Structure 1
Amino acid sequence: MNVKISTQYTPVVDCIRSVYKTDSFIPLHEPRFLGNEKKYLNECIDSTFVSSVGKFVDEFEEKIASYTGAKYAVATSNGTSALHISLLLANVEQNDEVITQPLTFIATCNAISYCNAKPIFIDVDKDTMGMSPVALEIFLKENAEVKNQQCVNKSTGKIIKACIPMHTFGHPCRIEEIQKICKEWHIVLVEDSAESLGSFYRGQHTGTFGELGVISFNGNKIITSGGGGCILTNDEDLAKKAKHITTTAKEPHKWEYTHDMVGYNYRMPNLNAALIVAQLEQLDGFLKSKRSLAKIYKNFFQNGDIHFVTDPENAKSNYWLNSIVLKSKDQRDLFLDETNSQGIMTRPIWALMNKLPMFEKAQCGDLTNSEWLEERVVNIPSSVIL
């Protein structure tokens, strides 16, 4: 039992406790295993096919492609590996540049670094917390030119090969507008949809606007395979190459081990796929619960000085992590201290990527919105309500 402490944000604590009906510690987001998880795991174990070959891997790829509307899906060991392979498929090479947003999880920039490429940071929109198409277009017009069907950075002379917008906390960014800009500037669009399974922009699932899209199934996502991810694409050749590269680039043969390029051991194990197949069966119910929770939070915060983040225009969000925006950094820090002290897990948004030592020399556009949000955004408990 937590000792009752009266603070400025006790009403928020009381609201969250009333939702989850407990006086114990409430985590930010925990998985729910309410269906066939144990049944499918036991079936997988009994089959002895627990690594990257097995019926659950194939079933998962078919079902996630069908759900998102993508023609092809390739299961991977995690979302970061999916991003890495997607950039390789986009032909991102050493000394190339990749545009992304500074307000993102580190995995986005790590994947760029794995290719020995450099990030360029573009501002986000306040309402989506995802890449701003206006900021993207301004940066390109001021800093880039198209030469020989390639986008060239006028200040560095390097090729801007790809663009990775991220759908922050499951809220779709203005991806259709970004798609058009990337096409005009000959930049490969790779969607970081790690957090946005079940989110749609203008009726189309996130992760299907770019040449490639990525989803994560980490333990804190809406549905989980423990660790896992996938690559989405509508290009058959890219899908085949993705599956080949993630399976150590081994050429098919009954017994010989022949590899035709540098590959990666990035395939999702069948054991993890068994878990995610069971979770997929519950996705619609989880999404319904999350939207119900978001409605409770929206009603609670509507008359105060804390702003609750809701679906952006033309979008339907999965509300993976519910987010609030406070008035200032001081107010944010007080909120974090008081809620966590009372057994309610809350956390701030990520530190901006351009402030980390690995990326502090990266080229940046005007990051006014990103800096404003970094000081004010907090995530509050978002687990599916039982």
Structure 2
Amino acid sequence: MSRVPECSGFDVAEFVRRVQHPLTTARPLPLHEPRFSGREWEYVRDCLESGWVSSVGSYVDRFEGMIAERLGASHAVATVNGTAALHVALLLAGVETGDEVLVPALTFVATANAVRYCNATPHLVDSALDTLGIDPDRLEDYLRRIASVGPDGCVNRLTSRRIRAVVPMHVFGHPVSMDRLMEVASRWRLTVVEDAAEAMGSLYRGSPVGGLGHVGIVSFNGNKIVTCGGGGAVVTHDAELARAARHLTTTAKLPHPWRYRHDLTGFNYRLPNLNAALGCAQMEQLDGFIAAKRRLTESYAESLDDLPGVRLVTEPAGCRSIYWLNAVLVPDQDARDAVLAATHRAGLLTRPAWDPLHLLPMYADCPRDDLPIAEELFARIVCLPSGVAAPGS
């Protein structure tokens, strides 16, 4: 992705008019609303009639199988939400108290929160303009400056703490350069915990994201392409990691017909059957949802074509994105703020990118690289209405 030239005469009104063109519907129009047009009612009713509504039931097993198959993984363990999945994935990756974990500064706060849940420290790194996610080349240059590999793995020479893992997050559904990132991770002895919360169905060089790292996660929050209302999953090719994930997320209870014995500090993180039933019906429609979202992207691209100072964020080369959120880059932060105000007045519930983690008070003191691209993207991104139910999709 090339940089958008600065445009002192940026036409906010024309931008709003062009964004409205594909969206012929009543206002307000949410950023991302779900579509329930399959067998959701049938499956949820079956749960209610059978009484299997909690964390055990046939829909949980079925949903996990559908997730694993879709992501080309051997195992999926369904959780109450994506953040819980990420917390467990980090524990499975060996993250311990006092470790550091490399995370992009431009990400949803849950990526860093899950690191803190492990009593570890988020270590913030910069993004790439073409993917919006971690820049592997810049990451390796940074590690050469501040880290070394020894008997204990990768160590931050500035803090003397172990850097245990790296968490690539596929921003808005656009895949990170995973091949290059895996090379860097291997060289620096880092475990890759793949945060595909926003990318269920995206492909990197023909392979589904979420199953490309050592362990991965997906999310089924109410605003995701597939939703259970909440929900997430840990994804892995390793049978032992999957067994450990199931144990940890079920309060680490040892199997017994009636006794309640636990051998670890576990978590009540399993997804209820009721939510899994909704997820099964949604997964059956995933291909249609992706097609609808890509049609909406094409409509935006056509409508915004040749508008000075605006560029639609498109899928990286060699990737097929679900375009979970359609994002545009405008010239600068003043233009971004003017666009956000004008679109909200017009009933289009746009939003900026998340505040970068180093600008949040609880992560302001975390170790970090220089973050010029993350800061530039934050200043210039506007996310457009992108739900599968949006007209134009």
1:351 aligned onto 2:351: no
Conserved 8 A contact 1:103-1:352: yes
**Contact 2:47–2:277 (CA under 8 A) maintained in structure 1:** yes
Shift of 1:80: 0.2
Superposed, 1:1-386 pairs within 5 Å as: 8-148=11-151, 150-304=153-307, 305-384=309-388, 385=390
Q: What is the rounded CA distance, in whole Å, between the counterparts of 1:9 and 1:250 in structure 2?
A: 57
Match of 1:4 in 2: none
Question: AA paired with 1:352?
Answer: P
Change (3 A) 1:17 1:300: closer
Contact 1:16–1:381 (Cα < 8 Å) also in 2: no
Q: Which structure 2 residue ranges, 5 or more long, are not aligned? A: 1-9
Decide which moves more: 248-257 or 55-64.
248-257
* RMSD between superposed Cα atoms in Å: 1.3
Q: Secondary structure at the match of 2:105?
A: coil
Give yes or no for contact 1:149–1:186 (8 Å, CA) kept in 2.
no
Pairwise CA distance, 1:11: 4.1
Q: CA deviation at 1:22?
A: 1.6
Give distance in 1, aligned partners of 2:113 and 2:20. Answer: 37
Q: Which moved more, 1:142-151 or 1:284-293?
A: 142-151
* Shift, 1:302, TM fit: 2.3
3-state SS in 2 of match to 1:276: helix
**SS of residue in 2 equivalent to 1:19:** coil
Q: Secondary structure at the match of 2:130?
A: coil
Q: Deviation at 1:315?
A: 1.1
Q: Distance in 2 between matches of 1:364 and 1:12?
A: 35
SS in 2 for 1:67: helix
Say if 2:221 and 2:230, in contact at 8 Å, map to a contact too. yes
Using the aligned pairs only, state the percent identity.
47
Provide the rounded CA distance (Å) in 1 between the counterparts of 2:361 and 2:226.
33
Deviation at 1:221, TM superposition (A): 0.5
Q: Is the 8 A contact 1:120 1:364 kept in 2?
A: yes
Offset at residue 322 of structure 1 (A)? 0.2
The SS at the match of 2:254 is coil
The structural deviation recorded for 1:18 is 4.0
Deviating runs (4+, > 6 A) in structure 1? none
The 2-side partners of 1:116 and 1:331 are apart by 39
The Cα shift of 1:357 comes to 0.9
CA distance in 2: counterparts of 1:207 and 1:23, whole angstroms = 35
- For residues 333-376 of structure 1, the C-alpha deviation after alignment (integer angstroms, 9 at most, x for no partner) is 11011110111111000111011111111111121111111100
Instruction: Provide the aligned length of Structure 1 versus Structure 2.
Output: 380
Q: What is the deviation of 1:8?
A: 4.3
- Alpha-carbon distance between aligned partners in 1 of 2:73 and 2:19, rounded to the nearest angstrom: 37
Asked whether the equivalents of residues 150 and 186 of structure 1 are also in contact (C-alpha less than 8 Å), the reply is: yes
Amino acid at match of 1:351: D
Q: Normalised by the size of structure 2, how large is the TM-score?
A: 0.95
Residues 126-165 of structure 1: per-residue CA shift (max 9 Å, x gap): 1111000011101111111111151111111110011111
C-alpha distance in structure 2 between counterparts of 1:27 and 1:258, whole Å: 46
CA distance in 1, matches of 2:23, 2:249: 40
Q: 1:135–1:365: 8 Å Cα contact kept in structure 2?
A: no
2:317 partner SS: coil
Task: List alignment gaps of at least 5 residues for structure 1.
Answer: 1-6
1:233-270 Cα shifts (integer Å, max 9, x gaps): 00110000001100001111111111111100000000
Report the Cα offset of residue 47 of structure 1: 1.2
Please state how far the C-alpha of 1:16 moved relative to its aligned partner. Answer: 4.2
Name the residue aligned to 2:5: none
Helix, strand or coil: the match of 2:362? Answer: coil
SS in 2 for 1:371: helix
**Secondary structure, in 3 states, of the residue corresponding to 1:121?**
strand
Residues 309 and 322, structure 1, Cα contact 8 Å, conserved in 2: yes
Q: What SS is found at the alignment partner of 1:358?
A: helix
CA distance in 1, matches of 2:23, 2:46: 33
Cα deviation for residue 298 of structure 1 reads 1.2
2:90 alignment partner, SS class: helix
CA shift for structure 1 position 12: 4.0
Task: Describe the SS at the equivalent of 2:149.
Answer: strand
